[in-house]
Amino acid sequence: MKNPERAIVDDRSGLIRGLSLLDCVLLLVGGIIGSSIFLTAKDIATVLPNPLLFLGVWVLGALISLFACFAFAEMGGMFPDSGGQYVFMREAYGELVAFLYGWTMFAVVNGGSIAALSVASATYLGLVVPALSAEHIIFRLGAFALTRVDVLALISILFVTWVNVIGLRQGAVLQNLATWAKFAAMTVFILLGFTIGKGSWSHFTMAGTGTIHGSGVAAGLMAGLSAGHLLSAFGVALIAVFWAYDGWIYITWVSGEIKDPQRNIPRGMVLGVVAVAVIYIAMNMTYVYAMPVTEIAQHDTIAHAAATMLFSPRAAIWLSALIAVSCFGAMASCTLSGARIYYAMAKDGAFFPRMGEVHPRWKTPAFALIGQGLWGGVLTLSGRYDQLYTYVMFMMVLSYTLGVGCLFIFRWKHPNLPRPYRCTGYPWLPALYILIGTVWTVNTIWQRPKEALAGTLIVLIGVPGYLYWKRSSEKKVAA
């Protein structure tokens, strides 16, 4: 029987252009919505203890993310190849800068995300099925202990990697199912919360006391709240909000496998971010309906507390299952998209050569997926993924800022290249994003110099590897 996927194989890369617009939107939504929406409310409510400000910062975060999306959407249409931002940075800044970005994504960001999400999914599943909890130790050697949660996390990484290796369509279906499941569960939580939940609309008008005082934006300003104080509080809150929105870039990484990329990349990015914003705002409105913002600031696991307030303590089990599915879906999205960066690097001769190969039967970057899965497993067992991610967080913001900067370089260096989509609000909106990203990065370096230095060193560790791989590649070409 003829394989229907062979009809849409890209002759340049050997990969399959099999991702539709719906796949792109679900990939982005599934990748963004992980565990953060269930955890970040406390950090935001602490500095913005006012319901309007508490909800408004989520709108602001979505708008700022869209500023970057508009820029990346134009570049995605210009360079519809696997690797996304790696390709943009290679063309704009050169191979070394692009490699350091890709190295950081492999060594820390994607590997750490896969490890963290798989462990989180397994941990919350352990709350539903106690026999799978971390309290059950399987093996111990000195300070190292292997728990059932660790084993379950490793199995989930192995399973998701295998599904993506054997076919793009299989990987897309897996992450689509997980995304639909989490979307349905969150919708039920929101609807039931507002219809039968034991909440109160009065919480939306109650004033809070904390970093910001007053009974609203206008009242607060009239009471003497300085604009600088307000901006400072929003800046702190945006750290958690940007973390929650992180993942909008996934679509560009798989550009080489998207059908009609010039049209579907811009549409997918904008529709995906808007969909996530609607979900996030609705979830946070549910939290406010369940309890006042001042009480939200007291709970690390806000979703659990809100479910208990709205329904009963027994709802915590159902909510744990939702978070487990949400984390699993985010891990599946990261696995599918992240491997395409290392594939592009290897194709350029700047990474392990086998990762640049496309499997002859399954038409996937199988070795890049396997390498990513193995490293994610190592980080899972090490337990250091959260610490590493903290170190390079400011580098991630810097990379997005540099990524948007590529747009201005391309407008200057390649004015005649086809642009199926032109950045909305150019040059003001991307320039505003660069300004915000730069200020935030500098502030992070100033406030957390040790973490910033550690992150810089982690990135620079990749330089010897780059020199080695490029030298090896040049020798092969010369031979």
**344-388 confidence digits (pLDDT tens):** 999 999 999 999 999 999 999 999 999 999 999 999 998 777 777
Is the pLDDT score of 443 beyond 50?
A: yes
Residue reference for tokens 């260096």: 413
pLDDT-derived band at 391, boundaries 50, 70, 90: confident
> Could you tell me if residue 8 is inside a domain?
no
| Structure confidence by residue, pLDDT tens digits, 212-225 | 444 444 444 333 44
Q: What three-state secondary structure class fits 147? A: strand
pLDDT at 49: 87
Peptide bond into 427 cis (omega under 30): yes
Q: d(Cα 285, Cα 20) in Å, to the nearest integer? A: 32
pLDDT, mean over the chain: 87
Number of independent structural domains in the chain: 1
Determine the pLDDT at residue 275.
Answer: 95
9 φ/ψ angles, rounded to the nearest 5 degrees: -75, 130
Secondary structure of residue 75 in the 3-state scheme: helix
Give the pLDDT confidence of 450-471 residue by residue, as tens digits.
888 888 898 999 999 999 998 9
pLDDT at residue number 360: 93
CA distances from 445 to 97, 119, 230, 441, 453 (A): 20, 29, 21, 6, 8
**What pLDDT is attached to residue 216?**
42
Residue 21 maps to a domain: yes
The answer to whether residue 10 is domain-embedded is no
pLDDT of residue 474: 82
Q: Residues 66-92: what's their mean pLDDT?
A: 93
Average pLDDT over residues 325-330: 94
Cβ-in-10-Å burial (0-12, 13-18, 19+) of 257 comes to buried
Answer yes or no: is 253 within a domain: yes
Q: Say what the pLDDT of residue 449 is.
A: 83
For residue 3, is it within any domain? no
Helical residues (DSSP H) of 297-314, grouped into ranges: 302-310
Per-residue pLDDT of 121-171, as tens digits, reads 998 888 888 887 766 677 776 667 788 889 999 999 999 999 999 999 999
Per-residue pLDDT, 205: 87
Q: What is the CATH number of the domain that holds 36?
A: 1.20.1740.10
Asked whether residue 26 carries a pLDDT value surpassing 70, the answer given is yes
Residue 4 lies in a domain: no
Which residues are 145's β-sheet partners?
A: 140
Which residues form the domain of 251? 16-471
Asked if residue 478 belongs to a domain, the reply is no
> Which burial class, exposed, middle or buried, applies to 475 when counting CB atoms under 10 A from its CB (0-12, 13-18, 19+)?
exposed
Inside any domain, residue 5: no
Task: Encode pLDDT of 176-216 as tens digits.
Answer: 999 999 999 999 999 999 999 999 999 998 765 444 444 44
- Band (74; pLDDT cuts 50, 70, 90): very high
Q: Is the pLDDT of residue 10 over 70?
A: no
Instruction: Determine the longest span between alpha carbons in the chain, in angstroms.
Output: 75
Distance CA(32)–CA(128), nearest Å, equals: 24
